Amino acid sequence: MPKTSLVTIKQTSLFCCTVFFTFLLLTTSSAIAAGAETSPEPVEPVKEADFFEYQLEDRADPFVPFITAKAAVSSINMDEIIEKNIPLTGMQLFEPGQLTLVALLKSGREDMAMVQDFTGKGYMLTEGIKIGRRGVVKDITAKTVIIEETAETRAGKKIITEVVMLLKKEGEE
């Protein structure tokens, strides 16, 4: 492009901008002048009857939170044992206290125990089998079956307890 045409384009755009801003200035100043000529309507004085006063008598304060921090913390017991919702099968359907140890067996290197439910039905236990919601048969000795129960609290702390099932001699209760 030649230099003369570039200068002409710049001058034309400058002229257009000047015309636009002049038009804008004239329309806003005329609108302001027209608004100044009209006077606003008179404002009525506010009467005392128009004020509202909140009565606190026999009402709760609306700005106090419903749940306080102390109430929110105290309602959750972090030492509470949480129950896992897993389906129970086999010996997990019986808690150790519902079973009676009736026999102890040794088959080669493996120790086994025979337990009986309240109806008289017998079941075989071996080391490592799950029993109850949280128990696992830890050890089978000559006179006892040791069941280790592991529970977990809300805080994630594990509580381990041992339940010992003792073989009773004939005639003992």
pLDDT in tens, 105-152: 988 889 999 999 989 999 999 999 999 999 999 999 989 999 999 999
* Strand ranges across the sheet with 110-116: 100-107, 110-116, 122-126
Determine what percent of the chain is predicted with pLDDT higher than 70. Answer: 77
Per-domain boundaries in the chain: 1-36, 48-173
Q: According to the model, what pLDDT value does residue 58 have?
A: 84
Whole-structure pTM value: 0.54
Q: According to the model, what pLDDT value does residue 7 have?
A: 62
Average pLDDT over residues 52-76: 75
- The larger pLDDT score, comparing residue 169 to residue 89, is at 89
Q: Which residue has the tokens 């004939």?
A: 170
Q: According to the model, what pLDDT value does residue 46 have?
A: 62
Query: Taking 60 as the threshold, does the pLDDT of residue 36 lie above it?
Result: no
Determine what percent of the chain is predicted with pLDDT higher than 90. Answer: 35
Residue 123's closest CA among 103, 143, 148, 147?
103
- C-alpha torsion sign, points 13, 18, 19, 25: positive
For all residues of the chain together, what is the average pLDDT? 81
Amino acid identity for residue 151 in this structure: A
CATH class of the domain whose range is 48-173: mainly beta
Whether residue 99 contacts residue 165, with contact meaning beta carbons closer than 8 Å, is answered with yes
Confidence band, pLDDT 50/70/90 cuts, at residue 4: low
40-54, 76-90, 91-105, 127-141: least confident range: 40-54
Q: According to the model, what pLDDT value does residue 57 have?
A: 82
Average pLDDT over residues 33-58: 67
The rounded distance, in Å, linking the Cα atoms of 148 and 167 is: 17
